[in-house]
Structure formats: structure tokens, C-alpha cells
Amino acid sequence: MDDIDPAIEHSTPIWAVFGDLMSGLLGAFVLILVGVLGVQLELVSSLESEIQKRQQEEQRRVALEKALAGPLASGRVTLSDGKIGISGNVLFARNSDQLQAEGEQLLKSLSQPIAAYLGASEQILMVSGFTDDMPVRGSNRQFADNWELSAQRALTVTRALIEDGVPSSSVFAAAFGSQQPVAANTDADGRARNRRVEMAPVPRSRNKNKEGNG
């Protein structure tokens, strides 16, 4: 009998090699499929979270608009390009930084919706004081000029909002004096429109304020 070539006798059957290859490919496919499913689940979860966040923001925006509806209708408040403007005649007497009763009640009605709106966004509220171009008059000369008067009025409104629930880390005051008028200072009506306080949401700085800073 002829001798059988040992290399042929001990060679691995081709179907076994093919089976091992298919098992490896199947295992790799399963790993890829698991990875893809994991990414899809993460994307779905992220999308649902973003949708929920947007819905909450929309609810707070609607609440703020409802709080503004009455004052807007009465002319005590204006809303333009996202800026809430309040007539200085509503908030303060001439050459004064003390809130009048009507202004105090108006700020109380706005503080909670504003706080909720800011809490749902990466924004901070800038409270800006403006005056007309008439020199500050008064027997006590409490304020040196319109810059100082507008600054104190902005601070008064800012403190009132904080007292009524707006976080102090979400609001700051700014003064513009008689700069940036919205009407000509040539008559009483124009000057009255320029005496105002504006509240505008602005992007929060990435460098968050640290507690304890002066």
C-alpha cells in the first residue's frame, strides 16, 4: 500500500477554517451592532432631554409673556427685541431713586416669571437706567448728574427684583444717563419716554462669578 502524505493526513479541513472565520466575523458584527445600538440609545436620550428642556423654556417664556400682558396693554411696559422697558414715571418721581407704590407692585408681578425664565436659560438680566437730558434739579442736590441718578435707579430696581426672588447671581445693574435716548428730548413727551429702566437678558459669562468676590 502506498504511503499517505503526512501533510495531507494531518491538514485541517477547509470547512473548519471557514467556520472559525465566520464565527469571528459574527462576533465582530455583534460588537459593532451593540456599539451602534448604544450610540442610538444615547442620541435618543439626549434628544428627549433637549426636547424636554425646550418645552420647559417655552413654558417659562409663555409665563413671562402672560405676566407682561397687563402692563403692556396699559402702556406701563414696552417689549422690543427682547428688552422690557418700564417708564420712569411709573417707577420713580422726578429726580428720585425711591420706588413709587405702582412701580413696586409692577416689579413684584414680574420678578417670579423673570426668575423662572432666567433659571431655564444660560442668561443673566441686565437692568439699565436711563434719563432725559435735563440737568438734575432739586433742593438737596442728592445726585451729582444724570449718570448718578440713572445708576441709583438701576440699582433700586435690581435690589427690588432680588428681594422678590430673582437670584443675585442672575441680575446686574448698568447706567447710561441721558445716552441712548429712544425719543427726541425736545418736548415733555419725548423726555418722559427717555426716562426709563430697561431689563434685557444677555448671555451669561463662561467665567462664572465666584462667591466672595468684591
pLDDT digits (tens, 9 = 90+) for 31-85: 888 777 777 777 777 777 778 777 777 776 677 777 778 888 888 888 888 889 9
Q: Is residue 4 part of a domain?
A: no
What are the DSSP calls for 172-213, one per residue?
Answer: EEEE-TT-S-SS-TTSHHHHHHHSEEEEEEEEPPSSPPPTT-
User: What pLDDT does residue 58 have?
Assistant: 75
Q: How many CB atoms lie within 10 A of CB 156?
A: 23
Q: How many CA atoms lie within 13 A of 132 on its CB side?
A: 21
Within-domain flag for 27: no
Q: In this structure, is residue 192 part of a structural domain?
A: yes
Range of the domain at 117: 56-203
Quick check: is 155 in a domain?
Answer: yes
Question: Is the CB of residue 117 less than 8 Å from the CB of residue 84?
Answer: no
All three cell numbers of 159, joined, read: 435690589
99 CB-side CA count, 13 A = 18
Any domain includes 113: yes
Distance, first Cα to last Cα, the chain: 104
Considering the domain boundaries, does residue 87 fall inside one? Answer: yes
Residue 69 domain-assigned?
A: yes
Q: What is the pTM of this model?
A: 0.68
CATH number of the CATH domain containing 198: 3.30.1330.60
Higher pLDDT, 4 or 33: 33
Alpha-carbon span 180 to 176, nearest angstrom: 7
Evaluate whether 191 touches 89 at the Cβ level (below 8 Å): no
Instruction: Output the pLDDT for position 11.
Output: 55
Q: pLDDT tier at 211 (50, 70, 90 boundaries)?
A: very low
* pLDDT tens digits, 127-185: 999 999 998 876 556 898 999 999 999 999 999 999 999 999 999 999 999 999 999 99
Confidence of residue 210 (pLDDT cuts 50, 70, 90): very low
More confident residue, 190 or 140: 190
The total number of structural domains in the chain stands at 1
**Buried/exposed 178-211: b ≥16 CB within 10 Å, e otherwise:** beebeeeeeeeeebebbbbbbbbbeeeeeeeeee
Identify whether 145 is part of a domain: yes
Does residue 135 or residue 122 have the better pLDDT? 135
